[in-house]
Amino acid sequence: MQRNVMVPAWAGALAGLVSGGVALGIAQLAAGLVGPATFPVVAVGDAAVDLTPAPLKDFAIRTFGENDKAVLIGGVLVVLAAVAALIGVLARRRLAYGFAGLAAFGVVGLLAVLTRPDAGPLDAVPTVIGVAVGCWALSWLVRRASGGPIPANVPDAAFAPAATLPAPAATVGAPAAGPVSGDGRPEDEPVVERPAVMRAGDGLRAFDRRRLITGAVGGVAVAGAAALLGRQFGGRQAVDAARVGVALPKPATPAKPLPAGTDLGIRGLSPFVTPNSDFYRVDTALVVPQVDPNAWSLRIHGLVDRPVELTYADLLKMPLTEADVTLTCVSNEVGGPYAGNARWLGVRMADVLRQAGLRSNADMLLSTSADGFTCGTPADVVMDGRDALFAVAMNGEVLPVDHGFPVRQVVPGLYGYVSATKWVVDIKVTRFDADEAYWTPRGWSEKGPIKTQSRIDVPGYGDSLQAGRTTIAGVAWAQHTGVDAVEVRVDRGEWRQAKLAAVPGPDTWRQWSIDWDATTGEHTLEVRATDAHGRTQTDQLAPPAPNGATGWHTVTVQVR
């Protein structure tokens, strides 16, 4: 029978952590070759997003903003690390326990990977390889720390506590006294061979801390290198290179030049055009899809006379339209940051749909993203003449990967969850009574027309101001209707009309400002907007679900 040296609990935990890291690194490397979505951590995270109740998702967006996905992935990794450490502690007693724990994690990962909408048998490979290598790493580290197996011919007494070992029998005829040797034994006393005394559970070789640490460092290096290679193979670099190589055609219908006075130039006020790097991002993609434009295609099918499939090259050859459009997320709280304005370039969706020939009974466009997300857009809105686009560019440059490269939808007047599909690859022309999009069964409305909103950008909530003349400024939006007036009041006094900036049309937000003679003390500032149809924002507070927040944005400031 073979026995292993008993490895301390902390060493087992370290071995488990490193083995888990190696498993994930190898899995990510394999996922880089098979497909980024097959990485089990991402698959588990995606499953968590899909299963999370809508109120909890709202909380995550409110609390963490655009970092909600990073927080989710971080949470998954923390849980994995804790369980991996526990697996290592168990494995130090019996490796089979560790193998069973890693296998259980593999089953969870496989279920998450293989239940994705577009999953295939090959998608299981990263998880299987990761678990197998993780098991090998765990076995190697535990054996390395224990100095290897103990020979079978070691007597059981060698593993007994010292207190339980019998004292050696006295030698017959030995003198009772006499000269004493250096070790305290009488010089003429015969030497008695004692068994090797060890602590319970110890083997012939002591626990080897150095061998474990060096092995763990090597495992971390392997995990890091594998993860790095996996990210490179995942396609980001190739897609970035393909994106840089795109030559954008000139628009057949360019946007009108911005009128004078579009941007008031007030410090702290949101600029009229939101830079791409600052444009908000709210979507369900934990890992941004890497879509090769040369392999991309858009399929139009369903309730149409002639199904259509377009390549990226086909789309760029069509007449392109340029338009200034503000996008807004339905998750935006009153006064929230999830709104941005950009100049988009793309093919009018109506032109493509006319090629396919929409049937008269169709009322919904069910669009699908490369990552499987779906949204349902009212067909009549897209066909009513507004600048609804299959966009290929944003603010004069090829669409950024994070914002939907190679192609995304942009539809003025609708919240993004029913209109702004990124990485769009499929449009099913259907009916609302026949199909549901991603958010509808999760408690959100089928249709999402944008509600008129206004926001105070300066001063910010809780700011401390100097008494005297100061400027209150912000933005307001009522996409595809237009903002006609903005009013501000202080401490529930009289409403005063704000100055409005110029706008190129009804599809963008509008800057506003007003001067205020601030007096010492605490003050409450409120804003409301009125759209071009004469409808003023309601003061009734409502949360984002199910179809957009309402209420007046309120800011409290201190004046000294």
Secondary structure E strands in 312-452: 321-328, 339-348, 364-369, 374-378, 389-394, 397-398, 408-410, 424-430
Check residue 236 and give its pLDDT. 60
| Percent of the residues in the chain that have a pLDDT greater than 90, as a whole number | 54
Mean pLDDT to the nearest integer, 426-455? 95
| Whole-angstrom distance, CA of residue 389 vs CA of residue 408 | 8
For residue 194, what pLDDT is reported?
A: 42
- What's the mean per-residue pLDDT of the chain? 83
Q: Is 80 exceeded by the pLDDT of residue 382?
A: yes
User: What's the pLDDT at 175?
Assistant: 44
Which candidate, 470, 226, 427, 205, places its Cα nearest to that of 315? 427
User: Using an 8 Å Cβ cutoff, are 334 and 453 in contact?
Assistant: yes
Residue 84 predicted with pLDDT over 50: yes
pLDDT tens string 397-420 = 999 999 999 999 999 999 999 999
pTM, entire model: 0.70
Of 287, 296, 286, 228, the residue nearest 29 (C-alpha):
228
For 480-489, what is the mean pLDDT? 98
Backbone φ, ψ for residue 409 (5° rounding) = -90, 145
- pLDDT for residue 329: 95
Structure tokens at 182: 């250096």
Using the predicted structure, report yes or no on whether residue 135 has a pLDDT greater than 60.
yes
Higher local confidence (pLDDT), 349 or 232: 349
Q: Are 480 and 297 in contact (CB under 8 A)?
A: no
Provide φ and ψ at 529, rounded to 5°.
-125, 155
